[in-house]
A and B are shown apart, each in its own frame.
Chain A
Amino acid sequence: MKLWKSVISCAMGLTLSAGVASADVDFSGQTITVVVPFGEGGGTSQVFGFFRPFLQEYLPGNPLVQLLNVPGGGSIRGANQFHNTQTPDGTYLLATSTSTIVNQAARNPLVEYDLTAYEPVVLLGAETHWFTSASVIDEPYDFAPILERPLALYALNSPSSADLFHVWTFHTLGIEGARPIPGLSSSAGFQAFLRGELQISSHGTSNYLRQVQPGLESGEFMDLMSFGLIQEDGTVARMPYSPDTPTFPEQYERIHGTALAGDQLEAYRSINAIWNQASKAMFLPTGTPDDIVEVWRDAFRAILEDPDFIAQAAEQLGPTDVIIGEAARGIVASASILSDATITQLNEALAANNFTYRIE
C-alpha cells in the first residue's frame, strides 16, 4: 500500500493540471462499453476489470460499465473495430496495452486505428527490470563481467513484439555477447534463467517484487537495472520501491562514459513511452466533447483518492505510475509515431542479432 501511494503521489503532480468538470454530463441508465482488444484472461482485461466497479461508482449517473473483449491479431482486430465504429458520446472507449501501440509504431500494414487521434483518458505505467544470477557477476549492477562474456543469453518472445526493445537495449549498451533466445514468454524465460540456461532475465514490476526480490535478498540473483521512470520535467528517476537500482541511462553512462543523448535519447523516450508510461491506456474516440473527456478524467482522479481503491490496488496492481490529462497526449504521440532515426536504430539492432524482421 505504501508502494502504491508513493508512486501515485509522484505521478499526481502531472495529473492535477486541468480540472474543469462539467455538471451537465450524466450517464444515468446508460451502458458504457470498453473495447478490450485482448482475451478475457489477459492483463489488460484484468487491470480494467479491476477499475470497472470503481468507474461505475464515480462516473456521474452510475452507468453500467462493460468490457467487450475483441481479441485477435495481437489486438489489431479489436482496435480496428473500435476505430471503425467509434461514437464520441463518452460511452464507447478503447483499452490498450503496449502491444496495441507497438503495432502502430512498427507500422504494421493491418493497422487501421490511430491512437494519436483519440482522446487519452488515463495511462497506467509499468516498469521493466533486468537481473542476472550470482554466478555471472559478483557485485550488483556491475555490467563489466557481462561485457566480457562471449555469450549472455536472454529470453525474447518475438522480434515483432515489444520484446524487440530488449534487443535495442542490449545493443545500445554495447553488450556484444547478449543474444536473444526467441519464443520465450517472460515466465518461460524466467524458468530457463532459474535452470541456468539463460544468463540475463527481466520482469515487470509485480513479478519483480514477487519473484525476484526474494532472490536478490538471499544473494541468489544480482540486480542490474530498471528502464527508468521519466519525470514531469523530463529527468529519469529510479523506481521508488528499489532506490538502489540504477536506471538504463545511468548504466549507459557508466559503460560508455558519456550521457545518453541525441537520437539515442529520443529513441529511449519513445520506447519508455510505449513500454512503460503507456503500458496500459484508455481512450475516448476522436472528437469527444471536452466536457465528456474531463468527466472521465475526473472519475479516474477521484478513484485514485478512494481509500478502498488504494488498499486493493496495492494488492491487485502493484506500484503503478498514473498519468491523467493533457500530458498523456504527448506521450501517446511519442509512443505511436517513431522518428526515422529511432526506426533506423531498432532495425540496426535487429540486423545485429540476425533477425530478418524489419520495421518498414
Chain B
Amino acid sequence: MDLFFDVLGALFSFDHFVFLIAGILLGLTVGILPGLGGTTALAILLPFVSAFEPASALALMIGVLAPTTTSDTFPAVLIGVPGTAGSQATVLDGYPMAKRGEAARALSAAFLSSMIGGVWGAIILTFAIVFAKPLILAVGFGEQFLLIVLALIMVGALTGANLVKGLASCLIGLIIGAVGLAQITAEPRLTFGTLYLIEGVPLVVVGMGLFAIPEIVSLLQSKASITEKLQLKGQWLKGFRDVVANWFLVFRCSTIGVIVGALPGLGGTVVDWIAYSHLRQTARDTANIGKGDIRGVIAPESANNAKEGGALIPTILFGIPGSGNKVLLLGGFLLVGIQPGIEMVTTQLDLTYTIIWSLAIANIIGAAICIVLARPMSRITTVPYFILAPVLIALIFFASYQVGRDWNNFAGLMAFGLLGVIMKSYGWSRPALLIGFFLSSKIELLSYQTSAVYGMSFLWRTGSLILIGITVVTLWLLLKQKMGDETQASGRRQQMAQIRVTLGFLILPVAMTMAVAGLDYRSSLYPLGVSAILAVALIVVAFSQIRARSATINGTPLPQNFVMRGVFAQEGDFFPQFKEFANLVLFFLLIVVFGFPIATVIFITTFIGLRSRRHIPLAFGLAIALLSIMWVLASLLTLQYPSGWIATVVDLPWWLSGY
C-alpha cells in the first residue's frame, strides 16, 4: 500500500508531471478534432516514447488516452459530429440541447460525468490489480487462446454495421499479420524476399494508415472547416446540478462502462450505445430522450470514460487489447520494455500504479481544463481544413519514418492508408482489422502451444467454460439490440462497387494460400486455415450483397437477419476521397526530391496558399515553426530525417541532409 501512494508522489514530481500534462493536452486536442482519437495520437507518439523512461512514457501515453472521450463532447454537442467513436450517442441529446441554447449545460454535465466515470474506472482497475495474481495464474495457454478468439469474434461482430463483414475484417487482419517469418519454423511467408516484410509492417504504420489517413482524406474531401457556427450559451452550474440529481444513473452507467471495457474486444465503439439503451430501458419518462434530455448526455459520457479503466484490465494482465488504441498502447509498452502479465502485479507493480494514477489524474485534469478553457477550446473546432490537413499529413509521415528510420514505411503508410480509405468508405471495420493484425502471431502460437500442452482437453477446463459462456451471453445480449443508424448505399453504381471490393479482398486469401502451399505444415496450417475461413466469409458477404441488390432492383423487401443487416452500409463516397489521396503521393514525391524538412515547408505553404491567400502569412509562420521544432527535435533526440535527392547535389546541414 505504501508503494501505491509513493507512486502518486512520484507522479507529481516535475519530470513525470510534465509528461502527463503534455499527454493530456494532446489527448484533449485530438479528441476535439472529429475522426482523430486516441489511436492516431498514440501512433504519432509511439516512435518517440522509447526515448523516455518507462514511468514518464506511461504517464504520457495514458495522459493521451484518458481525456479524448472528455473533449470529444465539444463537437458532439456544438455541431452534432462525434469527436471520437465514443461520443456518437452523446450527439442524440447533446446537439438538440445546443440548438435550444443549452450547450453550456450539456457540456458541463458531460464533463462532470466524464470525470466521475473515469475516476470510477481507475478505482475498479485498482481492485482488479489487487486480486489479479491468482487470475493470471489460472489463465493458461488454452484460456488465452479462447480469450483471443472470443475477443476477435466480439470485435468483428460488433464494430461493423454488418456482422459477417466485421468478422471478415478480423480475418483480413489475421492474414496480414501472418506475413513475415513463421515463428515456429522460421520460414518466410509472403515476404517477396524482402527484409522489410520479414518482421511485418510496423504496428504504428498500420495504425496510422488505417485510422489517420482516411480521416484526413475525408476532411480534405468535405472541404469544410469542422464548424462554422458556435454557441456556448446556457448555464454551466445547471449541468453540474443535473449530474448530482442523476447520481445513480452516473453510477450505473460508469459501472456498465467498466464492465463493457473489460470484455476483450468490445472497447470504445459500442459502450456509449449500450449506456444509452440502458437509459432508454430504465428511465421512467422516456418522452424527451433523443430530443435534448440531459440524461441522454450524462449516460453515454459517464460510460465512455469509465471504459478506459476496464479496458486496461485485459491489456495489463494478459496483453490482450480491447480496442484499437489499446493495441498501440501495448506496442508502446513493448517499446519501453514493459511486458504485460504477472510481472505487472509483482515486480513491476510501481508501473501499474503509475498507470492507475495517471488515468485518474488525467480524467480530473482533463475535465477541469475543458470546463475552465471551454471557450478557447471550442474554437479548435473552427480551424479550417486546409490548415489542419497538411500539418497532419506532415506529422504522420514524420512519425511513420521514425519507426526504424525506414523509407519502406512510407510505402507501408500509403498502402494501409489506401486500404483504410477503402474499408471506411465501404463499411468494413478498421478496428477489427487492427486487432486481428496485432493478435495474429499470438493466436497462431497459442494454437500450437495449446495443442502441445493440452490437446483438445483445454475446452473442458473451468476457465474455458466460463469464457465461452461469457461470450455467448454477451453476443446474444448485444446482437438483440440494434445499435446506431445504418446508412445503406442506395445507388446501383455504389452497390456494384461494394460487390467488387468484397470480391477484390479475395486476393488476400488466394495470395497467401499460393505463398505458403509448399511450406512445412507448421508454417502453412494457420495461414491456410485463416485463408479458407476468410474466403468463405467474403463469399457469404458477396452473395448477400448480390441478393440485396437484386431485392432493391425488384423492390422486394429484404430479409432482416444478421447476415443481411447493413451489408451495404458505407461512409462517404470512395472516388472523391481517392482523388484527395493524391495529396499524400505528392507529398511523398516532394520528400524524395527535397528531403523531409524542406518538403514539409513547401507542401504546407503551397497547400494553404493555393486555397486561401489570406492565410499565406500564417502558412509561412507555421512552416517556420515546424522547421524549428524539427531542428530542436533533431538535436535533442538525435533524429534523422529522410534526406532527398537534393542533398546529393547541394551541401546541407546534417539534420537536413540526413547525416
Asked if A183 and B195 sit within 8 Å, CB to CB, the answer is: no
Q: How far is the CA of A41 from the CA of B199 in the complex (A)?
A: 17
A40 near B342 with CB under 8 A, answer: no
Please give, as numbers and ranges, the residues of chain B lying within 8 Å of A355 by CB-CB distance: 185
Task: Report Cα–Cα, A153/B450, bound state, in Å.
Answer: 12
Binds A, one of B135-143, B170-178, B299-307: B135-143
Q: Which residue of A lies closest to B445 (CB)?
A: A183
Judged by a CB distance under 8 angstroms, whether B51 is at the interface is yes
Q: A181-B449, A183-B445 are in contact. Are A40 and B141 (CB under 8 A)?
A: no
B contacts with A, residue count (CB < 8 A): 41
Interface residue B186 (Cβ < 8 Å from any Cβ of A) = yes
Stretch in B67-75, B333-341, B542-550, B571-579 touching the partner: B333-341
> Which of B51, B137, B184, B453 touches A158 (beta carbons < 8 Å)?
B184
Chain A 166-189 interface mask (CB, 8 Å, partner B; 1/0): 000000000000010111110110
CA distance A113 to B520 in the complex (A): 30
Give residues of chain B (26-80) contacting chain A, Cβ–Cβ below 8 Å. 50-51
> Which residues of B have CB within 8 Å of A157?
183
* B449/A184 in contact, CB under 8 A: yes
Q: Could you give, for residues 187-229 of chain B, a 1 whenever the CB lies within 8 Å of some chain A CB and a 0 otherwise?
A: 1000000011011000000000000000000000000000000
Contacting residues, chain A, for B185 (C-beta < 8 A):
159, 355-357
Interface residues as binary, A86-102 with B (CB distance below 8 Å gives 1, 0 otherwise)? 00000000000000000
Asked if residues B520 and A356 are in contact (CB atoms below 8 Å), the reply is: yes
**A residues less than 8 Å from B456 (CB atoms):** none
Contacts of B196 in A (CB 8 A): 72
Determine which of A46, A179, A182, A210 lies in contact with B445 in the assembled complex, contact meaning CB atoms within 8 Å: A182
Contacts of A42 in B (CB 8 A): 337
B347 touches A210 (CB 8 A): yes
Report Cα–Cα, A183/B449, bound state, in Å.
Answer: 8
Instruction: Tell me whether A229 is interfacial, beta carbon within 8 Å.
Output: no
Instruction: Determine whether the beta carbon of A197 is less than 8 Å from that of B195.
Output: no
Q: Are A187 and B341 in contact, CB atoms less than 8 angstroms apart? A: yes
Q: Are B137 and A194 in contact (CB under 8 A)?
A: yes
Quick one: closest A residue to B182, CB to CB? A158
Q: Give A50-70 interface residues, CB cut-off 8 Å to B.
A: 66-70
Residues of B within 8 A of A181 (CB): 448-449, 452-453
- Are the CB atoms of A77 and B337 closer together than 8 Å? no
How far does the Cβ of B338 sit from chain A's closest Cβ, in whole Å? Answer: 9
B404 within 8 A of A: yes
A242: min CB distance to chain B, Å: 19
Given contacts A182-B184, A183-B184, contact A153 B334 (CB under 8 A): no
Instruction: Report which residue of B138, B336, B347, B449 has the largest number of chain A beta carbons within 10 angstroms of its beta carbon.
Output: B449
Are A195 and B452 in contact, with the CB atoms below 8 A?
Answer: no
Chain A min CB distance to B190 (Å) = 16
Q: Which of B336, B445, B638 contacts A41 (CB 8 A)?
A: B336
Cβ < 8 Å to A, chain B residues 348-366? none
A41-B50, A77-B195 known; 10 other A-B pairs, CB under 8 Å? A68-B640, A70-B404, A71-B404, A158-B181, A181-B449, A182-B445, A182-B448, A183-B448, A187-B341, A191-B342
Q: What are 5 A-B pairs with beta-carbon distances under 8 A?
A: A39-B404, A77-B404, A159-B185, A188-B339, A211-B343
Q: Which residues of A contact B (CB under 8 A)?
A: 39-42, 45-46, 66-74, 76-77, 110, 153, 157-160, 179, 181-185, 187-188, 191-192, 194-195, 197, 210-211, 355-357
